[in-house]
Structures are given as C-alpha cells and as structure tokens.
Amino acid sequence: MIDIRLIRENPDVVRENIRKKFQDEKLPLVDEVIELDKKSRNYQQEADELRAKRNQISKEIGGLMKSGKKEEAEEKKNEVNAFSKRLEELEELEIKTQEEVTKRMMVIPQIIDPSVPIGKDDSENVEIQIWGANRSALRNSLSYGDHGEFKRNRPGCCQKGRRKWVLLFTG
C-alpha cells in the first residue's frame, strides 16, 4: 500500500503511475482518498479540540467544587457530557472514514521503478539477461512422471536422521 503522505503531497505522481500501468479506471480513487483523508483529519482535529476543552472544563469543575459553587459545577458537568457525546460521534466518523481511505488505498497500485520499461503486458517486456540453461527441450522430451524419482535414504547421501527424501533427476 502506498504511503498516504505520497498521495497528499504528490497526487500527480500517483496519477501518472496509474496511467503508466494502463489502469485508468483507478484514477478517481486518488481524488477520493484525498477527500476522505481531509474529512478524517478534520474529524480528528475537532475531536482533539473537544478533548482539550473537556479537560480544561474538568479542571474548572474541580476548582468550583473546592470553592463550594456546586450549581455552577453541575452546569459545567452537563457541558462536559455534551462534549463526550459529540466526541463519541466524531470518533466513529473518523474510524469509518479511515476504513474507507484504507479500502481505496489498497486498490491504488505501487509506484513503478524508473528503470522498468512501460508496456501493456508481459509480451512487451525487455529481456535483459537469462540465467541458467534452457530447459524447454528437456521438459518437452520427458513425460511428467519421468522428470524425477524419489529415493528414500539412498546410500552415499550425507543425510542424518530419518524420513529424508531425495529427488533425483533422470534426464
């Protein structure tokens, strides 16, 4: 999954990457992620402000109770309860929005390395180097069962213990 900071800071790079992968149907996801992320951050900011106000008012309630002003303290408690209800709503909205952001970000493809050639499918790949021998002739000459046989604890093998299997190629 791509880092959300990359989408926030460089949405054009992400869009260009999607175009290079020929997945144009995923282009609107970038804008959706940006919009949902802004909403989520706004919910979080509002929730943080409410928590700060709640903490400040709770300190004031303690001071009012010490000074004997119980009626004012009760008014402040009601205010704190209203903050708590709104805070729960904001936390639920933030969680739902973050889930939507994550769901959309899981569909956005990773950034292509600059050294990778651009092509529609595997047929347009550039062959840079081949490792190992060409085994296509061997595969074509042997049937499926002739590729190898299993030998159990064959003498001469440097194996200790039991239940060891060795696959020997006959071709």
User: In this predicted model, what pLDDT tens digit does every residue of 64-100 receive, in sequence order?
Assistant: 888 888 888 888 888 888 888 899 999 999 999 999 9
- Residue 149 pairs with which residues in a beta bridge? 168
Q: What is the CA radius of gyration of the chain?
A: 32
At 135 the pLDDT is 61
Burial class of residue 129, CB neighbours in 10 A (0-12, 13-18, 19+): exposed
CA dist., res. 77 & res. 84, Å (int): 10
Alpha-carbon gap, residue 105 to 40, rounded angstroms: 14
Q: Name the average pLDDT for the chain.
A: 81
Query: By percentage, how much of the chain surpasses pLDDT 70?
Result: 77
Residue 125 has pLDDT above 90, yes or no: no
> What is the rounded CA–CA span in Å between residue 137 and residue 142?
9
